[in-house]
Amino acid sequence: MSVNQATARTGEISTLSPLQGRDCLTLLDFTPREIQGLVDEALGMKQAWKEGKADRPLTGKTLAMIFDKPSTRTRISFETGMAQLGGHPLHLNRGDLQLGRGESLPDTARVLSGYVDAVLIRTFSHEAVEELARHASIPIINGLTDLHHPCQALADLLTLKESRGRLAGLTLAYIGDGNNMLHSLLEAAAATGIHLRAATPQGYEPDPAIIRRARKAATRTGADLYFTSDPREAATGADAIYTDVWASMGQEEEKERRIRDFAGFQVDPALMSLAKPDALFMHCLPAYRGLEVSAEVIDGPRSIVFPQAENRLHAQKALLAALIG
């Protein structure tokens, strides 16, 4: 589906064509209007795909995908999405590249720029992704770092828009670790006018620099970003409650300590009861039932975690088409 077809359905002016050739390292790489445009384009693409009317705007294009971290949703959604758009996904582990033997990121960026049309990278250091982007002449997409997870947050916006019909004015409660997921949700909320209440245990708060940037962005949209150490305060009256694992990749040795520190932060029926009667439950997955969320909640009727996971595919197709097409 073309940008014009999708935007004609919503009555908005296309804002996606200026994204061609740009990077996606964090959601604040885009303006609020551009993010809204990506969400609307993703909605249009999803509907067109289900109706069997999808276009293939990336025919002849290649996406290199570099993975330093294991992946289910990121790899499969990007690989499938690129193929559905007519392009060719190329999956690479660090060991498949000379990076594994010490070739520099700048040299790798320059070489890949001569071969492919964009690079997706899922790694640990956000600084490494920024360095790759500085030296590449093609779009670099952050598939996850220890600091940000913008593609997941874009899919979360799509899921909320699809479920509630709007973004601005919704109240989203985040319960858990002040990690890369919360960082990107703060930026997503700031860009779209969502009121985000984040409850994190003491010592697990989000990065202060990211909070400052998100609050500055929020002044343009009226989003309210609120922080507390009380999960009940955050959950009260929320339209949706979101959580993530307590120990992310690379933090496995901290798991037992984190289980103790996060006592009282499980999203269970009692916590959900404080939200609005029709409040949704969201999780970026993988989930660990009995830790950050109870089985009754994640497998219950208010959970939208699997439509949320599916929307990774459609949100990333919109992103790929905008950056490469």
Which residue numbers are catalytic? Answer: 122, 149, 152, 244, 284, 312
φ, ψ for residue 164 (rounded to 5)? -115, -10
- Residue 249 annotated as binding site: yes
- Residue 88 annotated as binding site: no
- Residue 70 annotated as binding site: no
- Residue 74 annotated as binding site: yes
- Residue 179 annotated as binding site: no
- Residue 142 annotated as binding site: no
CB–CB of 272/233 below 8 Å?
no
- Residue 122 annotated as binding site: yes
- Residue 285 annotated as binding site: yes
- Residue 22 annotated as binding site: no
Annotated binding site for L-ornithine: 180, 244, 248-249
- Give the residue ranges of the annotated binding site for carbamoyl phosphate: 71-74, 98, 122, 149-152, 284-285, 312
